[in-house]
Amino acid sequence: MIGLCQYSNNGLIEMKMNFDINSNDNSLFVTSQCNNRCLMCAQPPLNRDDIDSFWNKNIKLIDNAPNGLTNIGITGGEPTLLQEKLIHLVEYIKLRYPDSLIHILTNGRAFSDIRYTMKFKEISNLLFGIPLHSDFSIDHDTITQVKGSYTETMKGLYNLASIGADIELRIVINKMNYQRLPQLSEFIWKNLPFVAYISFMGLEDTGYSIKNHNKVWIDPIDYQKELEKAVVNLAEWKLDVSIFNIPICLLKPSLYKFAKKSISDWKVCYIDACSKCSKKHECCGLFSTSKIQSPSIKPI
Total domain count, the chain = 1
Domain membership of residue 298 (yes or no) is: no
Q: Determine, yes or no, domain membership for 38.
A: yes
Q: Which domain holds residue 149?
A: 5-287
Q: Is there a domain that residue 243 lies in? A: yes
DSSP 200: E
Q: Is 68 within a domain?
A: yes
In this structure, is residue 116 part of a structural domain? Answer: yes
Q: Where are the alpha helices (DSSP H) in the chain?
A: 51-64, 84-96, 114-118, 137-144, 149-162, 181-191, 208-211, 213-216, 224-236
The pTM is what? 0.93
Whether 297 is in a domain gets the answer: no
* CATH number, position 79: 3.20.20.70
Give me Rg for the CA atoms of the chain.
19
Q: Is residue 295 part of a domain?
A: no
Give domain status of residue 299, yes or no.
Answer: no
**pLDDT tens-digit profile, the chain (300 residues):** 333 334 333 333 444 455 555 565 789 999 999 999 999 999 999 999 999 999 999 999 998 888 888 899 999 999 999 999 999 999 999 999 999 999 999 999 999 999 999 999 999 999 999 999 999 999 999 999 999 999 999 999 999 999 999 999 999 999 999 999 999 999 999 999 999 999 999 999 999 999 999 999 999 999 999 999 999 999 999 999 999 999 999 999 999 999 999 998 889 999 999 999 999 999 999 999 999 999 999 999
